[in-house]
């Protein structure tokens, strides 16, 4: 029996905004508990939510990017449940009229394009976070009221690889547009993962299991892999009935999923329209205005790199992964830097340096114009690639302009033919035995002489000129 | 025959995290008969199924705030009414689920 995994995702992304979605408290990650707090988010009696225009517009922007149908009004609903992290006793979300429905996102899975159907995208508020101790819990309201965008896909994915490609694509879009920082380390991306197994050629879906609140993309991958294995084994061992519709959670320690509650215990959220926030009209003018502000998206940029700059798909994919890296590369190209060299420098030396020093490319001392100087020196054969790397490292170490440093380090290449010729003649005059060996057929002595010239000039002689002059001088001997 | 049963009432009470005594269940069950009768009456009004739900008493539209102005409040002031406080946080019984 051949089984096919069927996967659907609910992706929650914390939005980037100055203030929270329903209160003027600051929206930013903070290690100090209860710093970004306001009575509205803590549900003091008599409070009313104050809708944030920035969040509305960013939610519409994402719905447009996902090619969703957008309703004429923006309205909210209440999702009722009781838990200490939810001070109001309900979450303000969108249930009846999400900001986007029937969308699509094209993803790239190992070079093959696939369309992911988006059922809906909606704006809601995050809950507070709980710090658990042995006998009690403490509530941190910094996260309460942080705007969340939830994107719900149809069950159209069939492998963990597709799910990861979808999440990565969404992550890049969030970062490029500034809708979310999508910072995994800060828990800004969380997913509910729905997995079932379907018999090949069957039209009937298997029993769905939902794994709640998986907190990073690696764990989503592990969750799916584990559920596929667990459900497949049960089906193949004749225990299909043991797969029940239930909610599970991912346990990082054991890399397994654990039952939380069955469908019988499912919470009835008693959704109803949020009466404290009247509808907000979404006019065509507003939509056109937001459309005009959408910046270039990662996929568009990738196509530009491949079609206009002639990059291969691997380099293009690596460059678009990080908006700042991609913009740095764009700046190099706009300055007229050699394309191939720019790709190599950005994806190798710069990437290695920023990763090992844990800094962003925007913090790098070598701005694109400074790096262009180094690249140009190698293109013009003024310095060797080894010298270029040394100049790069010294410039970062000393925080000194490579234009000044190249002189201070005496790196300027010797291109004067007479100077190089004098050095070569001197070296040949003091190596008569080696010339004999060369003349008697030991051709690798040529490299020995090149090495001597480089040693004499401390690597500064232009290697192309050295080889030309040396060859000519040896012929005359 | 009523659509509401005592089991249904107890199930909803459980979901609302309130416990009902037998007497309370009986009282609510009897009240539902009256509520149901009234709902039946309303449902008999001509064209009732074509009426859109009215969530707001007046036709008004939201005027969202500009999200730039930040107002963080002092947590010590906010926590003055709290029962148990530990440092800057409210302490609650441990609930993990």
For A218-235, write each residue's pLDDT tens digit.
999 999 999 999 999 999
Tell me the pLDDT tens digit for each residue of A345-354. 999 999 999 9
Which pLDDT value is given to residue A304?
95
Interface of B with A in 8-37 (CB under 8 A): 12, 15, 17
**% chain A with pLDDT above 90:** 74
B68 at A interface, C-beta within 8 A: yes
* Chain B residues close to A139, C-beta within 8 Å: 89-90, 92
Tokens of A359: 């800094």
User: Stretch A78-103: mean pLDDT, rounded?
Assistant: 94
Contact state of B55 with A74 under an 8 Å Cβ cutoff: no
- Cα-to-chain-centroid distance, residue A136: 37
Tell me the pLDDT tens digit for each residue of A10-25. 999 999 999 999 999 9
Position A413 confidence tier, pLDDT thresholds 50, 70, 90: confident
**Rounded CA separation A37/A44 (Å):** 12
Which pLDDT value is given to residue A94?
97
User: Stretch A173-198: mean pLDDT, rounded?
Assistant: 94
Domain ranges of chain A: 3-287, 296-408, 417-475
Position A202 confidence tier, pLDDT thresholds 50, 70, 90: confident
Instruction: Nearest by CB to A84, from B70, B75, B92: name it.
Output: B92
The residue with greater pLDDT, B21 or A264, is: B21
Q: What is the mean pLDDT of chain A?
A: 92
**Residue A84 in 3-state DSSP?**
coil
Tokens of A423: 């050095």
- The class level of CATH for A417-475 reads mainly alpha
**Rounded CA separation A364/B29 (Å):** 71
ipTM for the complex?
0.70
DSSP state of A444: T
Mean pLDDT lowest for which of A160-164, A188-192, A327-331, B60-64?
Answer: B60-64
Contact state of B67 with A132 under an 8 Å Cβ cutoff: no
Which pLDDT value is given to residue A369?
96
- The end-to-end CA distance of chain B, in Å, is 39
Collect contacts of A204-210 with beta carbons under 8 A, ≥24 apart: A205/A6, A205/A155, A206/A6, A206/A231, A206/A235, A206/A243, A207/A243, A207/A244, A207/A245, A208/A155, A208/A245, A209/A243, A209/A244, A209/A245, A209/A246, A209/A248, A209/A257, A210/A246, A210/A247, A210/A248
Which pLDDT value is given to residue A264?
65
Interface of A with B in 271-310 (CB under 8 A): 273, 275, 277-281
* Chain B residues close to A267, C-beta within 8 Å: 15
Q: Computed over its alpha carbons, how large is the radius of gyration of chain B?
A: 23
Instruction: Nearest by CB to A139, from B17, B70, B89: name it.
Output: B89
pLDDT above 90 (res A268): no
- Are the C-beta atoms of residues A424 and A403 closer than 8 Å to each other? no
- Are the C-beta atoms of residues A93 and A211 closer than 8 Å to each other? no
B72 at A interface, C-beta within 8 A: yes
A36 at B interface, C-beta within 8 A: yes
Q: B91 φ, ψ to 5°? A: -95, 130
Tell me the pLDDT tens digit for each residue of A26-66. 999 888 899 999 999 999 999 999 999 999 999 999 999 99
Which pLDDT value is given to residue A265?
67
- Are the C-beta atoms of residues A451 and A445 closer than 8 Å to each other? no
Name residues of chain B where pLDDT drops below 50. Answer: 97
- The end-to-end CA distance of chain A, in Å, is 81
Which pLDDT value is given to residue A307?
95
Tell me the pLDDT tens digit for each residue of A128-168. 999 888 889 999 999 999 999 999 999 999 999 999 999 99
User: Stretch A180-198: mean pLDDT, rounded?
Assistant: 93
pTM: 0.81
A83 at B interface, C-beta within 8 A: yes
The minimum CA-CA distance between B39 and chain A, rounded to whole Å, is: 19
Instruction: Nearest by CB to B15, from A53, A136, A268: name it.
Output: A268
């Amino acid at each position: 029996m051949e089984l096919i995994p069927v996967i659907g995702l609910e992706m929650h992304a914390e939005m980037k905004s100055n203030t929270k979605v329903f209160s003027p408290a600051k929206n930013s990650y903070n290690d100090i508990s209860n710093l970004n707090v306001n009575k509205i988010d803590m549900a003091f009696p008599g409070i009313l939510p104050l809708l944030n225009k920035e969040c509305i517009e960013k939610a519409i922007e994402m719905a447009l990017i996902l090619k969703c149908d957008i309703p004429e009004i923006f309205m909210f609903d209440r999702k009722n449940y009781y838990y200490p992290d939810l001070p109001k006793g309900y979450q303000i979300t969108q249930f009846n009229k999400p900001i986007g429905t029937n969308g699509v996102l094209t993803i790239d899975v190992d070079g093959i394009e696939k369309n992911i159907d988006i059922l809906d995208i909606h704006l809601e508020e995050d809950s507070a976070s709980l710090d658990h101790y042995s006998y009690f819990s403490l509530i941190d309201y910094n996260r309460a009221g942080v705007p969340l965008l939830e994107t719900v896909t149809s069950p159209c994915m069939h492998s963990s690889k597709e799910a990861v490609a979808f999440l990565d694509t969404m992550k890049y879009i969030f970062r490029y547009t500034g809708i979310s920082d999508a910072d995994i380390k800060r828990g800004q991306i969380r997913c509910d993962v729905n997995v079932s197994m379907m018999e090949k050629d069957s039209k009937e879906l298997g029993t769905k299991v939902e794994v709640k609140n998986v907190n990073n993309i690696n764990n989503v991958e592990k969750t799916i892999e584990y559920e596929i294995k667990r459900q497949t084994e049960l089906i193949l061992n004749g225990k299909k009935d043991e797969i029940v519709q239930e909610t599970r959670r991912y346990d990082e320690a054991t890399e397994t999923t654990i039952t939380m509650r069955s469908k019988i215990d499912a919470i009835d959220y008693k959704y109803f329209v949020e009466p404290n926030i009247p509808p907000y009209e979404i006019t065509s003018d507003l939509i056109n205005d937001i459309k005009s502000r959408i910046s270039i998206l990662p996929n568009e940029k990738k196509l530009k790199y491949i079609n206009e700059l002639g990059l291969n798909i691997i380099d293009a994919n690596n460059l678009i992964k990080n908006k700042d890296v991609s913009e740095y590369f764009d700046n190099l190209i706009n300055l007229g830097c050699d394309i191939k060299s720019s790709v190599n420098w950005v994806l190798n030396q710069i990437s290695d340096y920023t990763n090992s020093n844990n800094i962003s490319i925007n913090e790098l001392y070598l701005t694109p114009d400074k790096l262009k100087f180094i690249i140009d020196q190698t293109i013009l054969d003024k310095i060797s690639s080894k010298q270029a790397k040394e100049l790069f490292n010294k410039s970062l170490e000393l925080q000194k302009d490579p234009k000044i440093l190249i002189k201070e380090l005496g790196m300027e290449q010797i291109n004067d033919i007479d100077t190089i010729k004098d050095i070569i003649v001197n070296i040949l005059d003091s190596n008569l035995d080696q010339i004999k060996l060369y003349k008697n057929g030991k051709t690798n002595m040529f490299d020995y002489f090149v090495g001597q010239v480089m040693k004499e000039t401390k690597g500064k002689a232009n290697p192309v000129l050295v080889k030309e002059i040396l060859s000519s001088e040896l012929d005359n001997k | 025959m009523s659509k509401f049963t005592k089991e249904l009432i107890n199930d909803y009470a459980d979901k609302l995290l309130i416990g009902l005594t037998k007497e309370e269940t009986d009282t609510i069950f009897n009240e539902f008969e009256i509520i149901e009768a009234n709902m039946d009456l309303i449902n008999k009004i001509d064209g009732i199924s074509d009426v859109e739900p009215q969530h707001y008493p007046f036709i008004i539209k939201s005027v969202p705030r500009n999200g730039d102005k930040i107002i963080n409040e002092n947590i010590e002031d906010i926590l003055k009414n709290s029962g148990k406080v530990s440092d800057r946080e409210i302490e609650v019984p441990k609930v993990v689920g």
